[in-house]
Amino acid sequence: MIVVHHLENSRSQRVLWLLEELSLPYEVKRYERDPKTMLAPPELRRIHPLGKSPVIVDRDHFGTERILAETGAIVEYLTGKADGRLGKPYGEDAALLYRHFLHYAEGSLMPPLLVNLVLGRIPLLGKAAQKKLQPMIDVHLDFVEHELAFRPWFAGNTFTAADIMMSFPLEAARDRGGLERGRPATIAWLDKVHQRPAYQAALERGGPYRFV
């Protein structure tokens, strides 16, 4: 049984969603953020030294415990465990798109959104800095809009784990990054993934999630 150490309103919601899509059995251990700092609780450090979520705990065929952190690494592990389902699609072009967006989500799109969140908590000067950062965020959001204007999913015509990886930064962008300003294809994509039965089931297992 896979155990997911799940922090509220975090990247780990994607792991629950993927597990639901793959129909892999799992258990959820929920953690709440500190109401003042919004940081993860110290209990997570008992599971992994970084003290962040998501973290999953699984066992190999010999019963040896495996502890995995980092959403992208967990996604690759779980799709492999499910014999490649929702993993790299057939065809070189689709496979390249899949690989790109699997890593782009956290490598390029999420960092400016995270900076934007931090700046929003700084009085006066933070708001001014946010205005200077917004054009950088817009470049990414316009790129995503262009990509989704020509195909239904990030890796082509088939829903894959790349779509699951892209969900959190785009949900964050809708919440605080100006996504809704003239990007109908991306909004339609978000509405479409939110309607998936596995997404809804993951919400029930994970508890309240502010980005829906």
pTM: 0.94
Q: How far apart are CA 61 and CA 59, in angstroms?
A: 7
Contacts of 85 (CB under 8 A, 6+ apart): 22, 79
Contacts of 61 (CB under 8 A, 6+ apart): none
183-204 pLDDT, tens per residue? 999 999 999 999 999 999 999 9
CB of 194 closer than 8 Å to CB of 163? no
Confidence of residue 158 (pLDDT cuts 50, 70, 90): very high
Q: What is the Cα 116 distance to its own chain's centre?
A: 17
- In angstroms, what CA-CA distances link 186 with 27, 142, 143, 173, 190? 32, 9, 10, 11, 6
The arithmetic mean of pLDDT across residues 157-161, rounded, is 97
Q: Is the pLDDT of residue 162 over 90?
A: yes
- The residue behind tokens 């003042």 is 36
pLDDT at 125: 82
CA pseudo-torsion sign 58, 68, 167, 177: positive
28-77 pLDDT, tens per residue? 999 999 888 888 999 999 999 999 999 999 998 888 999 999 999 999 99
DSSP 45-91: GGT-TT--S-EEEEE-TT--EEEEESHHHHHHHHHHHTTTTTSSPSS
Confidence of residue 121 (pLDDT cuts 50, 70, 90): confident
Eight-class DSSP state of 108: I
Q: How far apart are CA 39 and CA 41, in angstroms?
A: 6
What does pLDDT average to over the chain?
A: 95
Confidence of residue 108 (pLDDT cuts 50, 70, 90): very high
User: Domains of the chain by range and CATH?
Assistant: 2-85+198-206 (3.40.30.10), 92-196 (1.20.1050.10)
Q: Is the pLDDT of residue 124 over 80?
A: no
